[in-house]
A and B are shown apart, each in its own frame.
Chain A
């Protein structure tokens, strides 16, 4: 298993898990989200090919009201 940080929460996943599979497992499957890994934007079109690495810091955001 490897460990990644998801919105500042540590999660354990199998090595080389694809981002698209991880998002589904974490409950984001049908959500309107955007993702950054290690502060780099990850385009939605690359979710299926992006393999997660140990200690990746993953930010998942959704729309909120803003000023």
Chain B
């Protein structure tokens, strides 16, 4: 295998018919400056960024620089419905997003609980069905519940985004059993681990498990050096993907020497 083949990222990440070479989706909130956000996007090598809509006083132009940098990045936009607590709110905000960002992609969030921002599974399925009928391409932020994910597929979602842990916690993959079961039972649908990751090693582990991509924000934005952390996550995601494609060895209970035992010096028949 040539060196070029092993290092160049393949353009084999397909979401709703669009292909990408990066499997890293980056959020654009919480950075201490718009410049740090811009530099983090660059270092992350991401091709998709998430963003939102909020009420703002017309005299407040704070968001202008962020919006300008996001546009200049050339990344595909994935607007969210963050903070929506009902189907009605989420559907309306999605429609507002489609007009303002000129995209039918929506990261669908329906919050079911204020403490852990856990997605409301019932509202999520209902909102997904409504939005898909309205022509949206829905990327639902969901839990790792297998049956919820099946229901989301039933109503027409072509991508799933189960959480690793609650948003902004940095806890990593809290429920490996559920995530492994999800990957085992739903093999041919792109699944992106969204939220809760705090360290690149956690992203690499998710990719090694066979997940297709990683979406995060806080772990990069709140690092001491966000652009460097963005690069670290990008490298970890690439490494995890390569490891998955290469196939991990089976774990064993007992040790097994890697150096040949035949020809071992200093050994003599007793």
Closest Cβ of chain A: how far from B79's Cβ, in Å? 7
A67 to B96, Cβ gap below 8 A? Answer: no
A34 to B67, Cβ gap below 8 A? Answer: no
Option from A39, A40, A61 in Cβ contact (under 8 Å) with B53:
A61
Closest Cβ of chain A: how far from B141's Cβ, in Å? 10
Q: Answer whether residue A4 sits at the interface, using C-beta atoms and an 8 A cutoff.
A: no
Q: Answer whether residue A64 sits at the interface, using C-beta atoms and an 8 A cutoff.
A: yes
Whole-angstrom CA separation of A33 from B97 in the bound complex: 10
B218 to A67, Cβ gap below 8 A? Answer: yes
Q: How many residues of chain A are within 8 Å of chain B by beta carbon?
A: 25
Q: Which of B7-15, B28-36, B152-160, B178-186 lies at the interface with chain A?
A: B28-36
Q: How many residues of chain B are within 8 Å of chain A by beta carbon?
A: 38
Option from A8, A41, A59, A67 in Cβ contact (under 8 Å) with B50:
A67
A31 to B58, Cβ gap below 8 A? Answer: yes
Most buried by B among A26, A59, A64: A64
Complex contacts, A41 vs chain B, CB 8 Å: 92, 95-96, 99
A63 and B51 in contact (CB under 8 A), knowing A27-B59, A41-B95? Answer: yes
Complex contacts, B37 vs chain A, CB 8 Å: 65
B99 to A34, Cβ gap below 8 A? Answer: yes
Closest A residue, CB atoms, query B217: A67
A64 to B53, Cβ gap below 8 A? Answer: yes
A63 to B53, Cβ gap below 8 A? Answer: yes
B80 to A44, Cβ gap below 8 A? Answer: no
Complex contacts, A35 vs chain B, CB 8 Å: 96
A67 to B29, Cβ gap below 8 A? Answer: yes
Complex contacts, B193 vs chain A, CB 8 Å: none
Closest A residue, CB atoms, query B51: A66
Closest Cβ of chain A: how far from B222's Cβ, in Å? 11
Q: Which residues of A contact B (CB under 8 A)?
A: 7-8, 26-28, 31-36, 39-41, 43-44, 59-67
A-B contact pairs, 5 of them (CB 8 A): A34-B97, A61-B100, A65-B51, A67-B82, A67-B167
Known: A34-B97, A63-B67, A65-B52. 14 other contacts (CB 8 A): A7-B57, A26-B58, A31-B58, A34-B100, A39-B92, A61-B96, A62-B55, A62-B56, A62-B100, A64-B51, A64-B54, A66-B50, A66-B53, A67-B52
